[in-house]
Amino acid sequence: MATDHADNTATVSRTRGIVFRYVLLVATLSALASLGLLLANVAVDAFAPFSADPSWYLVYLCTLVLPTLLVGWVLRRHELLVGGIEALFVPIGGLFGAGALFLLFEVLPFNVWFAWAVGIAVPLAIWLLSSVAGTSGRLRAGLTLIFGGVSLFGLPLVDVSTTGVLGPLVMGLPAYIQLKVYSIPNYYLTYLLTLALPVALLVGHQIRKRESFNAGLAATGLVAIASLSVLFQTVVYTYVALVLVVTVLVPAAWYWYTQWRDRPDDRLQFAFPATVLIGAGLGRLAIWALSISGPNSWVDLQFLQDAPTRYAESAGLNPALVGSLLLMVVVIATAFPLGVGAAVYLEEYAPDNGFTRLIQLNISNLAGVPSVVYGLLGLGLFINLGGMSGETISLFGRTITLSGMPTGSVLVGGLAISLLILPIVIISSQEAIRSVPDSLRQASFGMGATRWQTVKHVVLPRSIPGILTGTILAVGRAVGETAPLIMVLAASYSSSPPGGLLDKATALPLQVYSWAFEPDPAFRHGVLAAGVVVMIVVLLVINSIAIIVRNKYEARQQ
Amino acid sequence: MTDGHSEAETEPNATTDSATMTDDSEDELKTHSAGFESPPTGETIIEAEDVNVWYDDDRALEDISMAVPEHNVTAIIGPSGCGKSTFLRCINRMNDLIDDARVDGTLKLAGKNVYDEDVDPVALRRRVGMVFQKPNPFPKSIYDNVTYGLEMQGIDGDYDAIVEDALREAALWDEVSDRLHESGLELSGGQQQRLCIARAIAPDPEVLLMDEPASALDPVATSQIEDLIAELAEEYTVVIVTHNMQQAARISDKTAVFLTGGKLVEFDDTQKIFENPEHQRVEDYITGKFG
Ligand SMILES: Nc1ncnc2c1ncn2[C@@H]1O[C@H](COP(=O)(O)OP(=O)(O)OP(=O)(O)O)[C@@H](O)[C@H]1O
Ligand SMILES: [Mg+2]
């Protein structure tokens, strides 16, 4: 009887367990399937895959897909597939870097870029020279600061109208060059001097450190040759090709070279990027030779380069891309230092009293406040308070003239989003800081380090990967955030990219949102879907940066 | 403490209570060393007078008074939870870092009360190095671990030479000289602990506090560390907490016995403590009758 009983309970719990397990499985699968359907739908709308000639698919199947599958399968059996994919991702990541750089160039006209590059070169040179001369750290820092300050911002409190020989000294180099220097080198030369040259020197320096002086020289020479060789092609503008050399070719060559040398047993992994790149090239060539028409995708270079228009065919989201990039810059520049600072204070300095606990409680709650509320806050704080320029209000019997931030500018939108993600940045940074073992702090204090030294040399280095991961993920969330932007930016719809932080701007989610209401169905399906695809890709890139940062630091700390 | 009292009174050349012997510790030391083959003695460098520590409302140390002589190894032994670590942390004011710890009494380092208003705990910790129970090297290179104190304290000098000296003194140089720039975490536990010792002595402190430095180590590593401590005593004053009675007997010149409740029951030359303790409870503890 006793055994009977036991058997009974065993069966009951087992059936329950099985039912529960499959219910969970079905729930998960259906959630994933609905999301997958939605994304597939968007992809079909965005890329219009059925508009392509079937032979287009056939060509790529033969040159790209089948060889890649085959090579991938072989590499997998040798456990080299991951390495192969990584090797392929370096140039692809470089392409995204190039894209971001081009967006930046749109905001920063190249004369401004040139002017600031010259301004920064001066303190950099001073620092390098004094470190070669072997001066002490403090003197070096002081020299760099003084010369850098003068070079970038000029001498304070001196009459700015002074020109002539003393002009650069008074105004600072960037301002002086922008105002007074009319013969600036062209695009190609500017980027050659400001991008390719430093990169070539850096690569040479690194190689020299690892190998020999001659190897370093050779590396510098190779980069220089690649940078110059773009002059002899007519496919794209020389400056575009130069930027691609710097962002795609050099990092890829660097990564491939180090892998090739450090892992002689894994060299087979290069079959993967080779197959993919050669396959894509061959396919492209075949299609061009046979003049086969590909899919009439909405996502193409034109879409990324053009401004929105009334015609779906020629619509683009370049201003929104630039706007989002600038918003990100503002968000990172404000939320990162504030958030990390607050986290360090709360974890390392604040006494454990009621006030600290109150702040802590508030931060946790702020992380859960709906984003619309932050939009309102931005509206109230930055626009209504600051926007009505010249208006006066009376406060405690005083009259205050409002100076004003321009309505709907990148700065205001960025600050509003920054407020939104600040609690998330603080909380994730706090968690990262808390995970630093106390024994390390004790060791540091025991060595006679001050609290700040302990934070700087022990706590922050250990927690920075966690802090960065958290911050980057939060920035990713900020990029997709719509509600605050609708409140702050929507009033100032702009169809040209912002030229600076105080310009009116639009952003990716706003642009997508506004396309949803266009009467033309080509907008509501094609263009809208293309916008969604671009946004998702941007988010994926940001999240992969977070993952890469984490993996890299984790590997280093073991 | 009270039952120890009556015993103490029967002993002519002993002080009546360990808590009262601080004022003339000099004489006291001499009286005691007379009978033995002259254990090294020196000037008093650390002098505790009625030190009390509370964590919130729990008293962890009760009226501790003792005088630690310079260039000696002083061992602190006692059952778990009797306040040995707490006392050690009083000496370099690491207790300041514990929010609810409160210290009162005076604790003099070379004649100056370290709890005076004008004493900066950071400056104090630069004179009093510490080695912890669990090896805790920084996740930096071996070299950077040893130079950490120098850099934080702004000490200039030939770092390469200092690193080599410190590592040699910590008996680690031969094992790591060819990989100074690899991570300190890649060493074995015993090597890590010796690295921590090298790190502590690199800035040349006056006193070295060690909280059960060998408790996580195997017998071989332990004996290496013990040899090391004996050598260190020539240059530094070492105060070491240990659970290992034999270790205290082997390496220390003086021994303090703390018993439950945070009381210092007996403080004397090590030989005396282990061969002829004045208090029955100390004898019981040392012979393992309780603990
Ligand atoms: N940070 C702290 N907060 C509160 N109480 C503490 C703290 N540290 C120690 N105590 C208490 O103080 C008493 C003495 O602790 P201490 O760590 O000094 O003992 P110990 O002699 O070093 O013991 P062990 O041999 O186990 O290391 C114990 O009762 C302990 O619970
Ligand atoms: Mg302890």
In a domain, A75, yes or no: no
Considering the domain architecture, whether residues A438 and A474 belong to the same structural domain is answered as yes
b/e code A89-111 from CB counts within 10 Å (16+ = b): ebbebbebbbbbebbebbbeebe
In a domain, A61, yes or no: no
User: Averaged over A401-430, what is the pLDDT?
Assistant: 81
Q: Which of residues 345-384 of A touch B (CB under 8 A)?
A: 351-352
Q: Which pLDDT score is estimated for B49? A: 92
Q: Which of A140-154, A343-357, B91-105, B194-208 has the lowest mean pLDDT?
A: A140-154
In a domain, A406, yes or no: no
A460 contacts in chain B (CB < 8 Å): none
Percent of chain B exceeding pLDDT 70 equals 85
Q: Which residue has the higher pLDDT, A529 or A3?
A: A529
In a domain, A307, yes or no: no
In a domain, A380, yes or no: no
Q: How far is the CA of B86 from the centre of ligand 2 (A)?
A: 7
Considering the domain architecture, whether residues A288 and A320 belong to the same structural domain is answered as no
Chain A within 8 Å of B139 (Cβ-Cβ)?
yes
Considering the domain architecture, whether residues A249 and A114 belong to the same structural domain is answered as yes
Residue A538 in this model has a pLDDT that exceeds 60: yes
Chain B within 8 Å of A9 (Cβ-Cβ)?
no
**CATH homologous superfamily, domain B38-127+205-286:** P-loop containing nucleotide triphosphate hydrolases (3.40.50.300)
Q: How far is the CA of B172 from the centre of ligand 2 (A)?
A: 26
CATH number for the domain that contains residue A330: 1.10.3720.10
Is the Cβ–Cβ distance between B182 and B139 less than 8 Å? no
Q: Which residue has the higher pLDDT, B12 or A320?
A: A320
Domain end call among A52, A75, A94: A52
Residue A178 in this model has a pLDDT that exceeds 80: no
A130-134, A430-434, B170-174: which is most confident: A430-434
Q: Which residue has the higher pLDDT, A490 or A359?
A: A359
Distance in angstroms (rounded) separating the CA atoms of residues A547 and A468:
10
Structural domain that includes position A483:
312-364+423-557
* Ligand 1: nearest atom to the Cα of B56: 4
User: Averaged over A288-312, what is the pLDDT?
Assistant: 85
For A395, left (φ over 0), alpha (ψ -120 to 50), or beta?
beta
User: Averaged over A109-125, what is the pLDDT?
Assistant: 83
Considering the domain architecture, whether residues A333 and A440 belong to the same structural domain is answered as yes
The Cα of A435 is separated from the nearest Cα of chain B by a number of Å equal to 14
User: Averaged over A449-474, what is the pLDDT?
Assistant: 92
User: Averaged over A131-138, what is the pLDDT?
Assistant: 78
Domain end call among A10, A35, A52: A52
Residue among B126, B132, B153 minimizing CB distance to A442: B132
Residue owning the nearest CA to atom 2 of ligand 1: B55
Q: What is the ipTM of this complex?
A: 0.82
Q: Which pLDDT score is estimated for B36? A: 38
Banded model confidence at residue A399, pLDDT cuts 50, 70, 90: low
Q: Which pLDDT score is estimated for A126? A: 85
In a domain, A389, yes or no: no
Instruction: Kindly tell me the sign of the dihedral angle through the C-alpha atoms of B85, B91, B96, B100.
Output: positive
Contact between chains at B125 and A447 (C-beta distance less than 8 A): yes
User: Averaged over A265-294, what is the pLDDT?
Assistant: 90
Q: Which pLDDT score is estimated for A119? A: 82
Chain B within 8 Å of A36 (Cβ-Cβ)?
no
Q: Which pLDDT score is estimated for A192? A: 87
The Cα of B186 is separated from the nearest Cα of chain A by a number of Å equal to 8
Contact between chains at B199 and A447 (C-beta distance less than 8 A): yes
Percent of chain A exceeding pLDDT 90 equals 34
Q: How far is the CA of A126 from the centre of ligand 1 (A)?
A: 54
Residue owning the nearest CA to atom 8 of ligand 1: B86
Q: Which of A43-52, A135-144, A441-450 has the lowest mean pLDDT?
A: A135-144
pLDDT tens per residue, range A232-260: 888 888 888 999 999 999 999 999 998 88
The Cα of A358 is separated from the nearest Cα of chain B by a number of Å equal to 18
Candidates B125, B162, B192, B208, partner chain A, best to mutate (most A CBs within 10 A): B125
Q: Which pLDDT score is estimated for B34? A: 36
Give the 3-state secondary structure of chain B.
Answer: CHHHHHHHHHCCCCCCCHHHCCCCHHHHHHHHHCCCCCCCCCCEEEEEEEEEEEECCEEEEEEEEEEEECCCEEEEECCCCCCHHHHHHHHCCHHHHCCCEEEEEEEEECCEECCCCCCCHHHHHHHEEEECCCCCCCCCEHHHHHHHHHHHCCCCCCHHHHHHHHHHHCCCHHHHHHHCCCEHHHCCHHHHHHHHHHHHHCCCCCEEEEECCCCCCCHHHHHHHHHHHHHHCCCCEEEEECCCHHHHHHHCCEEEEEECCCEEEEEEEHHHHHHCCCCHHHHHHHCCCCC
Residue A7 in this model has a pLDDT that exceeds 80: no
Ligand 1 lining (C-beta closer than 6 Å) = B 55, 60, 80-86, 98
A558 contacts in chain B (CB < 8 Å): 185
In a domain, A268, yes or no: yes
In a domain, A378, yes or no: no
Considering the domain architecture, whether residues A526 and A485 belong to the same structural domain is answered as yes
Residue owning the nearest CA to atom 22 of ligand 1: B85
Q: Ligand 1 pocket check: which of B86, B134, B241 to mutate, most ligand atoms within 8 Å of Cβ?
A: B86
Contact between chains at B149 and A461 (C-beta distance less than 8 A): no
Chain B within 8 Å of A462 (Cβ-Cβ)?
yes
Q: Which pLDDT score is estimated for A407? A: 63
Considering the domain architecture, whether residues A109 and A206 belong to the same structural domain is answered as yes
Q: How far is the CA of B241 from the centre of ligand 2 (A)?
A: 8
Q: How far is the CA of A470 from the centre of ligand 1 (A)?
A: 36
Tell me the CA distances in angstroms from A516 to A315, A371, A523, one per residue in order.
14, 21, 7
Q: How far is the CA of B7 from the centre of ligand 1 (A)?
A: 29
Q: Which pLDDT score is estimated for B20? A: 38
Considering the domain architecture, whether residues A502 and A452 belong to the same structural domain is answered as yes
* Ligand 1: nearest atom to the Cα of B258: 21
Considering the domain architecture, whether residues A512 and A552 belong to the same structural domain is answered as yes
User: Averaged over A101-125, what is the pLDDT?
Assistant: 83
Find tokens 């975490």 and name the residue.
B185
Nearest-by-CA chain A residue for B200: A447
A457 contacts in chain B (CB < 8 Å): 138, 148, 151-152
| Closest ligand to the CA of B99 | 1
Residue A8 in this model has a pLDDT that exceeds 80: no
| Closest ligand to the CA of B291 | 1
Residue owning the nearest CA to atom 3 of ligand 1: B55
Chain B within 8 Å of A445 (Cβ-Cβ)?
yes
Nearest-by-CA chain A residue for B130: A446
pLDDT tens per residue, range B58-94: 999 999 999 999 999 999 999 988 999 999 999 999 9
Residue A423 in this model has a pLDDT that exceeds 90: yes
Considering the domain architecture, whether residues A7 and A141 belong to the same structural domain is answered as no
Q: Which two tokens stand for residue B138?
A: 């920084």
Domain residue ranges in chain B = 38-127+205-286
Pairing between strand B128-131 and B112-113? unpaired
pLDDT tens per residue, range B1-36: 344 344 433 334 433 343 333 333 333 333 333 333
A440 contacts in chain B (CB < 8 Å): 136, 138-139
Q: What is the mean pLDDT of chain A?
A: 84
Query: What is the domain count for chain A?
Result: 3
B92 contacts in chain A (CB < 8 Å): 446
Give the count of Cβ contacts less than 8 A between chain A and B. Answer: 66
Q: Which pLDDT score is estimated for A110? A: 76
Q: Cα angle at B28 between B23 and B34, to 5 degrees?
A: 165
Chain A within 8 Å of B173 (Cβ-Cβ)?
no
Considering the domain architecture, whether residues A216 and A325 belong to the same structural domain is answered as no
Q: How far is the CA of B217 from the centre of ligand 1 (A)?
A: 22
Q: Which pLDDT score is estimated for A498? A: 76
Q: Ligand 1 pocket check: which of B64, B85, B90, B239 to mutate, most ligand atoms within 8 Å of Cβ?
A: B85
Instruction: Kindly tell me the sign of the dihedral angle through the C-alpha atoms of B30, B33, B37, B38.
Output: negative
Within A263-398, residue ranges assigned H as helices are 271-290, 301-305, 318-344, 354-366, 371-378
Candidates A447, A451, A457, A460, partner chain B, best to mutate (most B CBs within 10 A): A447
Residue A30 in this model has a pLDDT that exceeds 90: yes
Banded model confidence at residue A398, pLDDT cuts 50, 70, 90: low
Considering the domain architecture, whether residues A9 and A127 belong to the same structural domain is answered as no
Q: Which residue has the higher pLDDT, A395 or A279?
A: A279
Q: Which pLDDT score is estimated for A485? A: 82
Q: Which two tokens stand for residue A513?
A: 């949102």
Measuring CA to CA, which residue among A87, A114, A282 is closest to residue A194?
Answer: A114
Residue B39 in this model has a pLDDT that exceeds 50: no
Residue A37 in this model has a pLDDT that exceeds 80: yes
Considering the domain architecture, whether residues A328 and A186 belong to the same structural domain is answered as no
Candidates B86, B96, B136, partner chain A, best to mutate (most A CBs within 10 A): B136
B196 contacts in chain A (CB < 8 Å): 443
Banded model confidence at residue A50, pLDDT cuts 50, 70, 90: confident
Residue owning the nearest CA to atom 12 of ligand 1: B60
Residue A66 in this model has a pLDDT that exceeds 90: yes
